[in-house]
Chain A
Amino acid sequence: MSAPVAAARPPVTVDDRDRVAPPRPRDLTLPLVALGLGAAVAAALVGLLVGPIRLPVGAVVGALVDRLPGAEVAHGLDAASTTILFEIRWPRVILGLAVGALLSGSGAAYQGVFRNPLADPYLLGVAAGAGLGATLAIVTGTASLAGGFALPAAAFVGAVLAVLATAGLSLRRGRPSGPAALILAGVAVAALLAAVQTYLLQRHADSLRAVYGWLLGRLSTVGWAEVRLVLPVLIVTAVVLVLAAGRIDVLAVGDEEATTLGVRPGPTRAAILAVASLATATAVAVSGLIGFVGLIVPHGVRLIAGTGNRRVVPLSMLFGAAFLTLADVAARTVQAPAELPIGVITAFVGAPAFLLILRSQQGRA
Chain B
Amino acid sequence: MRSIRSRLVAAAPALALAALLAACGGDATTPEPAPPDADAAAAAPEQDPDAEPDEPASGFPLELEVAGRTLAIAARPERIVSLSPSTTEGLFAVGAGPQVVAVDEYSDFPAEAPTTDLSGFTPNVEAIVGYDPDLVIVSYDPGDLVASLETAGVPVLVLDAAVDLDGALAQLGTLGTVTGNVATAQDVVRSLEDRIEAAVASVPPLDVPATYVHVLDDALFTATSATFIGSVYGRFGLENAADAADPDGEAFGYPQLSAEYLVDADPDLVFLPGGDADAFAALPGLGGLRAVASDRVVELAPDVASRWGPRVVDFVERVAATVATLPEPAATTP
A residues contacting B by CB (< 8 A) are 51-53, 79-80, 83-84, 87-89, 91, 144, 147-148, 194-195, 197-199, 201-202, 205-206, 209-210, 212-216, 218, 220-224, 291, 332, 335-341, 343-344, 347-348, 351
Contacts and interface: CB of A to CB of B under 8 A. Distances in A.
Contacts of B219: 210, 213-214, 218, 220-221
B208 interface: no
A199 B28 CA distance: 11
Given A87-B285, A221-B284, A347-B6, A338 B258 contact: yes
Given A215-B11, A221-B218, A83 B288 contact: yes
B134 to A, nearest CB: 27
A337 B244 contact: yes
Interface in B224-269: 242, 244-246, 250-251, 254-261, 263-264, 266
A70 to B, nearest CB: 27
Interface of B: 2-3, 6-7, 9-11, 13-14, 17-18, 21-22, 25, 106, 119, 121-122, 216-221, 242, 244-246, 250-251, 254-261, 263-264, 266, 276, 279, 282-285, 288
A88 B282 contact: no
B284 A206 contact: no
A338 B7 contact: no
B22 A202 contact: yes
Contacts of B264: 53, 80, 84
B11 A339 contact: no
Contact of A144 (B6, B14, B221, B279): B279
Nearest to A143: B218
A148 B221 contact: no
B212 to A, nearest CB: 16
B285 A83 contact: yes
The 4 closest A-B pairs by CB, nearest first: A223-B284, A337-B261, A87-B285, A338-B245
Contacts of A213: 217, 219, 221, 256
Contact of B285 (A147, A201, A218, A223): A223
A343 B10 CA distance: 8
A291 B122 CA distance: 28
A336 B288 contact: no
Given A220-B256, A338-B246, A87 B284 contact: yes
Contact of B6 (A147, A215, A344): A344
